[in-house]
Amino acid sequence: MTIDKKLVNDLKDIIKGKEGQAFPPVSLPETLYHYDFKRNIGKAPIEFWTQYKEFVAQMDGFNIDGFCIYGINDYPGYKNNLFHANELLTDMTGENYQLLIEDDLYCIEIGSSSLDDYMYDVRSNMWEARDKFQHDNLFISCHTLEAFLYAVSNEIRQI
């Protein structure tokens, strides 16, 4: 499974045109395949890491006009980190379990927009955009990260 370089280059062009931030490519260490997201996720499926590795090898996330996809590293002045976001969800699970939506127990947060949370659901292996307020409303649901990024890039173009 590969992420189309043209897609990533198009995203970079959009980001430059809108004065957003695209973070440099990184190598995903294979030790992350064993990272424990806790909640009801545990270790993410290899399909998740295989696709995420392809993405961060070209761009370690981005932030543009309220749309962001997390990378695996932090950068000066910007916390753009897949692990930090998910640790916050895990901490909320322990402290205020009743406030979480059940799906949060099975979804890895990969980014967000002002209206949606971007998730990977480990039960269905789907990449999804879920309404922040009505989490059962799915606006985007894709079998691959590449298809999901195409859908998100189309939303970004419309702003």
All domains in the chain, ordered by first residue: 5-157 (3.40.1580.10)
Q: pTM of the entire structure?
A: 0.90
Per-residue pLDDT, 96: 61
Per-residue pLDDT, 32: 92
Per-residue pLDDT, 9: 95
Give the bridge partners for 129, in sequence order. Answer: 118, 140
Per-residue pLDDT, 102: 76
Per-residue pLDDT, 100: 63
Q: What is the mean pLDDT of each run of 10 residues along the chain (159 residues)?
A: 90 90 93 92 95 96 92 81 87 64 85 94 95 74 97 90
